[in-house]
Structure 1
Amino acid sequence: MIAWYIATQAKGSANNTEGKKSLRDRIADFWWRELVGEPASGQAPYLSTLLPLLACAETKSASDMVDASKKQKVVIVGAGPVGSLAALYAASRGDDVEMYELRGDLRDPSTIPLNFTKSINLALSERGINSMKQLGRHGLIDKLLQETIPMYGRMIHGKGTSGELWEAAQAYDVHGRAINAVDRGALNNALLDELDRTPNVKMFFNHKLTGADFRSNKAWFERRIPGGTDGKSQGSNTSDRPQEVEVPFDMLIGADGAHSGTRYHMMKFARVDYQQEYIDTLWCEFRIPPTEDGDFRISPNHLHIWPGKEFMFIALPSADKSFTCTLFAPSSHYTKLENAPQEVVEFFDAYFPGVCRDLITPHDLQEQFTSNPHLPLISIKCKPHHYGSSVVILGDAAHAVLPFYGQGLNAGMEDVRVLFEILDKHGVYNSPLDLDAQRASRARAFQAYTDQRAPDTHAINDLSKRNYLEMRWGVKLPLYKFRKSVEETLDAYFPRLGWRTQYSRVSFSNERYSAVIRAADRQGEIFTACLSSVALSLLGSVGFVLYKFRTQLLPSGFILRPLQTLTEFSFRAYNAALRTYSFS
């Protein structure tokens, strides 16, 4: 405004009707009239001294407007751990971030989870930890790790032939590394609190995504509660009539879970290959309480497994000295127990020895089975994970995985890290870019993200399915234990060979999931070939001995039976090796 007035007054200076007043004084008179509404009456000298400050302020304001025009407005759909981490990443790069969540404030204990139960404890491992570390907020990750419980391996439970209970520990890693049991609510709350302290982030709860146009970059949300649009978060009063709000954006990140509304609307614009599978397994949550002295009933530094061929029961430690447990079983078994809940105790005694009575009372066991929901397990693959330069989906919205590798949370957080590393690599946050160039860079980055990440998310999806078989049955097989021992020995004493267990590659590294599968397959082929060679060599050696002494053995008929037995043994060993290879 000052610049405009100076130009106007300078242009008309030849017709100056205010005598010999300087341009500076005339500008001061103008501002006095604008601000006070009266003639300056001699105040010009005082006001004129403020003009340099006013001009400087206006120049700075214009500069800020130019910088603001280059900022991206990023809309995050979903306020879970993945969405919250994505919001922190975007905010740390200077974006204006708005995060919308279908539910109420997740820090409110009265907020009901989408699956209507307290989620099973999560396993936080290297990929998730590294993704939070790369954010640069060390206080956040330090606080979170203090509230986790390290689990150094599995504890397998069973019952001997004479009826005695036994347990056997299986370390996760030969180097003593651990995965961490973390409460989902505590993790989510810590991330939301961090967002509350971030000035360029706004959070809107009770907002449902109802529509999106990814060509014009607009989204529509149904606001289920009134007020609070200017603040960090919304209020909690209910509204009789939900309102719909239109939200423009430069980039929308969908982290709204397996039943993603973002993915649904994105599929109207992008040709998305989509695969959804419900496995024939349900899960139900149980709780092992602390002892009367307030301590853990079983080892807190292990993931406890009661394996069965068709089902399994697992227990993860919680900060309150209890254990969060889950029963995984085919739907047919759930149907039988639902029709006859009095048989739950008998079922547990038969298949999960030591749980009932020792860890959970019969009454509580039956009560928890009947009162807690029996929920399905879903597996999702899709490609691409983006559309143009406007939208990208992360976490379960792009790749819901089965929980048997403990990688759902970690893979989702790794999505965030990989996405923003690629955005940085493609120069999306370079300040010289104009809006069109920024949009083009973002489109290239999204395409690169899909090209890199889709094979990896498909890989962890497949690995999680395989690991279910290992957990409920493979952990008992001698050949599984033998291969694990061989691989850990090579890893410990011959690290230059690069030979590691598949589990350590997944849980204790940031190696791409697709590369993990290739490495595990290669090791499996070598292991199977070596085992087969040993079996065939043994068969050949014994066959040679039998042939050499055939004249002595032939009359007694011993030459055929040993050969037949050895042949059967060799084939069994070979098939067992193949099964062990398929678990890995």
Structure 2
Amino acid sequence: MANSSPTKCVIIGAGPAGALAALYAARRGWDVEVYELRGDLRDASTTPLNFTKSINLALSERGINAMRQSGSDDLLETVLSETVPMYGRMIHGKSSSRLSEESQQYDVHGRFLRAVDRAILNKLLLNEVEALPNVKLHFNHKLTGADLRKRKAWFEQQPSRKPETADGAQAHQKQDASRSTEIEVDFDLILGCDGAHSSVRYHMMKSVRMDYEQSYIDTLWCEFTIPPAASASHTTPSARDGFATSPNHLHIWPQSDKMFIAIPSTDKSFTCTLFAPSADFTSLEKYPDGFLPFFQANFPGAADLVGRAELRKQFLENPHLPLISVKCSPHHHGSAGVILGDAAHAMVPFYGQGMNAGLEDVRVLFQHLDAHPSNMQGRAKALEGYSAERVPDAHTINDLALANYWEMHAGVTSPLYLLRKKVEEFLSDKVPVTGFATQYSRVSFSNQRYSEVAETVARQGRILVGGMLGTVLLSAMGWAAWWAWRYHKTGHSTMKTADGFAGLSMLWERVGRMLN
């Protein structure tokens, strides 16, 4: 029997995943309350948790599809109007003392990613949510405790910052008004959308036998900005439409263990990120005079796009941040709680799927909830089904994101990687009946489960390697037959023929090692 009163849903975190979850829940008639640790994220003065603008986001099909199914007719169109299409990667380098640019398309069928500013996306989602009568937004609220068995949560309500007077002093306020107050909130279902260091996950682990793994890679990142062409001292040959370089690419300056990337913004600037081993950051912090030579040697042309003086200034002023990876299982607690987005599967940013996976979490969760009755028993089955589906997918994309770091800074210049990509794209385009597609296109331009993508791509790889080995084998057998016939005809000894086949065997082993 369905509950007579609407489900009360408490959502922790007002980022993109939390805002979209609130929208999905409200569209189903639930009473929704969203609690956010920070101030209103639509306010430019609100400081992000990592004290930086954060890496620009690459919106792909999974995130788009999640918004498409939100029940808000104009939301997706409004969001897409604030994006910049990226049709591929632009690989920057230096050849014969000249700077070079090489475009690599993402998809043989012309599909593309969309660069979006996280703050703009968050603002549009929160505006959509706030307009609904059954949603309440609470900012400056810190989750201090949660009992999922009793379905209660406690929040510390932070005092709002008071306006300043003309002389810079804060306006007078009573002593007790400046203190935090604690409130207690009841809920039927709590959704943890509160990031990699999730408080909901922490409290959930007290009563759930949750496997949990947290790790950092030996790479730090720092943010930079390339200004619009009108303000830039240098541009590249691909610059157009007021951008200092091509506006329709994700730009990469690759090196063996580091890279510099740039993603376009709607204001014609580029948000850039340096990824490098922690030892490089330590050295540059200790010897800042070596910063420009470091950039010129590793990322030719990038310093001039940012501006040489500005480059050093931004490196010294912007934080140098770690990259965290989180895996856990399960993602739910009975019928009372579930974690989504980075709270469930924080990942390194090298596949551009962190936000997309978080938005897809919302769609998949409510797909399971819609398939069961709205009572506690039905919700428990829905959350169990959600965890069973989402955990393997989350673990897979977490691993793929880490592996894609190699593709971005090394694979983009690897002949074998590029050969496989060309073969798969050729089969996808010219022989679609084979069902072949690159891993990147499956991840970025489809809604196929991440775990199924990995299995399908592994099967494709075995077929391709088998085909290549078969081709090499047939060619080698033909060559060997011709060689034996020739030497037999010219009267060479059997011993020399045997030596020839031994040489062929060594060649075969070498080819096998190369393909593997």
TM-score by length of 2: 0.91
Correspondent of 1:280 among 210, 215, 218: 218
Correspondent of 1:254 among 161, 184, 192: 192
Aligned-residue offset at 1:398 = 0.3
Q: In the alignment, does 2:42 pair up with 1:107?
A: yes
Name the CA distance, whole Å, in 1 between partners of 2:298 and 2:276: 11
Name the CA distance, whole Å, in 2 between partners of 1:406 and 1:560: 54
Correspondent of 2:59 among 124, 129, 143: 124
Q: Which residue of structure 2 lines up, in the alignment, with residue 53 of structure 1? A: none
Q: Is the 8 A contact 2:60 2:444 kept in 1?
A: yes
Correspondent of 1:383 among 319, 324, 329: 329
SS at match of 2:74: helix
Aligned-residue offset at 1:97 = 0.4
Q: Which amino acid aligns with 1:134?
A: Q
Name the CA distance, whole Å, in 2 between partners of 1:140 and 1:159: 43
Aligned-residue offset at 1:573 = 4.2
Q: Which residue of structure 1 lines up, in the alignment, with residue 235 of structure 2? A: none
Correspondent of 2:183 among 224, 234, 245: 245
Query: Which runs of structure 2 are paired with 1:508-523 in the superposition (5 Å)?
Result: 508-523=445-460
Q: Which residue of structure 1 lines up, in the alignment, with residue 250 of structure 2? A: 303
Name the CA distance, whole Å, in 1 between partners of 2:217 and 2:377: 40
SS at match of 1:114: coil
Q: Which residue of structure 2 lines up, in the alignment, with residue 360 of structure 1? A: 306
Which of these two proteins has the greater Rg computed from alpha carbons? 1
Q: In the alignment, does 2:29 pair up with 1:94?
A: yes
C-alpha change, 1:168 and 1:190, in structure 2 (3 Å) is same
Structure 1 runs (4+) greater than 2 angstroms displaced: 66-70, 237-240, 532-555, 557-578
Q: Which residue of structure 2 lines up, in the alignment, with residue 3 of structure 1? A: none
Q: Is the 8 A contact 1:154 1:304 kept in 2?
A: yes
C-alpha change, 1:332 and 1:564, in structure 2 (3 Å) is farther
Q: Which residue of structure 2 lines up, in the alignment, with residue 151 of structure 1? A: 86
Q: Which residue of structure 2 lines up, in the alignment, with residue 207 of structure 1? A: 141
Name the CA distance, whole Å, in 2 between partners of 1:543 and 1:558: 13
Aligned-residue offset at 1:163 = 1.3
Q: Is the 8 A contact 1:531 1:574 kept in 2?
A: no
Q: Which residue of structure 1 lines up, in the alignment, with residue 380 of structure 2? A: 443
Q: Which amino acid aligns with 1:335?
A: T
Q: Which amino acid aligns with 2:53?
A: K
Aligned-residue offset at 1:261 = 0.3
Q: Is the 8 A contact 2:24 2:71 kept in 1?
A: no
Q: Which residue of structure 2 lines up, in the alignment, with residue 347 of structure 1? A: 294
Q: Is the 8 A contact 2:255 2:409 kept in 1?
A: yes
Name the CA distance, whole Å, in 1 between partners of 2:4 and 2:255: 60
SS at match of 1:279: strand
Aligned-residue offset at 1:410 = 0.5
Name the CA distance, whole Å, in 2 between partners of 1:167 and 1:559: 50
Name the CA distance, whole Å, in 2 between partners of 1:503 and 1:116: 31
C-alpha change, 1:355 and 1:448, in structure 2 (3 Å) is same
Name the CA distance, whole Å, in 2 between partners of 1:554 and 1:355: 62
For structure 1, list consecutive stretches of 5 or more residues without a partner in the other structure: 1-65, 228-236, 429-437, 579-584
Q: Deviations over 1:177-210 (max 9, x none)?
A: 1110000000000111112211100011110111
Name the CA distance, whole Å, in 2 between partners of 1:329 and 1:575: 30
Q: Which amino acid aligns with 1:484?
A: K
Q: Which amino acid aligns with 2:82?
A: E
Q: In the alignment, does 2:121 pair up with 1:187?
A: yes
Q: Is the 8 A contact 1:315 1:326 kept in 2?
A: yes
Q: Which amino acid aligns with 1:263?
A: R
Aligned-residue offset at 1:265 = 0.3
C-alpha change, 1:184 and 1:226, in structure 2 (3 Å) is closer
Aligned-residue offset at 1:114 = 0.5
Q: In the alignment, does 2:132 pair up with 1:198?
A: yes
Q: Which residue of structure 1 lines up, in the alignment, with residue 370 of structure 2? A: 424
Aligned-residue offset at 1:495 = 1.6
Name the CA distance, whole Å, in 1 between partners of 2:285 and 2:472: 48
Q: CA RMSD in A?
A: 2.3
Name the CA distance, whole Å, in 1 between partners of 2:129 and 2:14: 10
For structure 2, list consecutive stretches of 5 or more residues without a partner in the other structure: 162-172, 232-240
Q: Is the 8 A contact 2:27 2:71 kept in 1?
A: no
Correspondent of 1:403 among 345, 349, 359: 349
Q: Which amino acid aligns with 1:542?
A: W
Q: May I ask how many residue pairs the two structures share in their alignment?
A: 492
SS at match of 1:274: strand
Correspondent of 2:110 among 169, 173, 176: 176
Q: Which residue of structure 1 lines up, in the alignment, with residue 153 of structure 2? A: 219
Aligned-residue offset at 1:540 = 3.5
Aligned-residue offset at 1:485 = 1.2
Q: Which residue of structure 2 lines up, in the alignment, with residue 412 of structure 1? A: 358
Aligned-residue offset at 1:75 = 0.2
Q: Which residue of structure 2 lines up, in the alignment, with residue 468 of structure 1? A: 405
Name the CA distance, whole Å, in 2 between partners of 1:166 and 1:567: 41
Q: Which residue of structure 1 lines up, in the alignment, with residue 420 of structure 2? A: 483
SS at match of 2:221: strand
Q: Which residue of structure 1 lines up, in the alignment, with residue 473 of structure 2? A: 536
Q: Which amino acid aligns with 1:323?
A: F
Aligned-residue offset at 1:542 = 3.4
Q: Which amino acid aligns with 1:486?
A: V
Name the CA distance, whole Å, in 1 between partners of 2:413 and 2:34: 46
SS at match of 1:138: coil
C-alpha change, 1:465 and 1:74, in structure 2 (3 Å) is same
Aligned-residue offset at 1:490 = 1.2
SS at match of 2:302: coil
Aligned-residue offset at 1:226 = 6.5
SS at match of 1:442: helix
Q: Is the 8 A contact 2:59 2:115 kept in 1?
A: yes
Aligned-residue offset at 1:142 = 0.6
Q: Which amino acid aligns with 2:127?
A: D
Q: In the alignment, does 2:266 pair up with 1:329?
A: no
Name the CA distance, whole Å, in 2 between partners of 1:402 and 1:564: 47
Deviates more, 1:238-247 or 1:462-471: 238-247
Q: Is the 8 A contact 1:342 1:366 kept in 2?
A: no
Correspondent of 1:453 among 379, 382, 390: 390
Name the CA distance, whole Å, in 1 between partners of 2:33 and 2:226: 40
Name the CA distance, whole Å, in 1 between partners of 2:27 and 2:50: 31
Q: Which residue of structure 1 lines up, in the alignment, with residue 166 of structure 2? A: none
Q: Is the 8 A contact 1:275 1:380 kept in 2?
A: yes
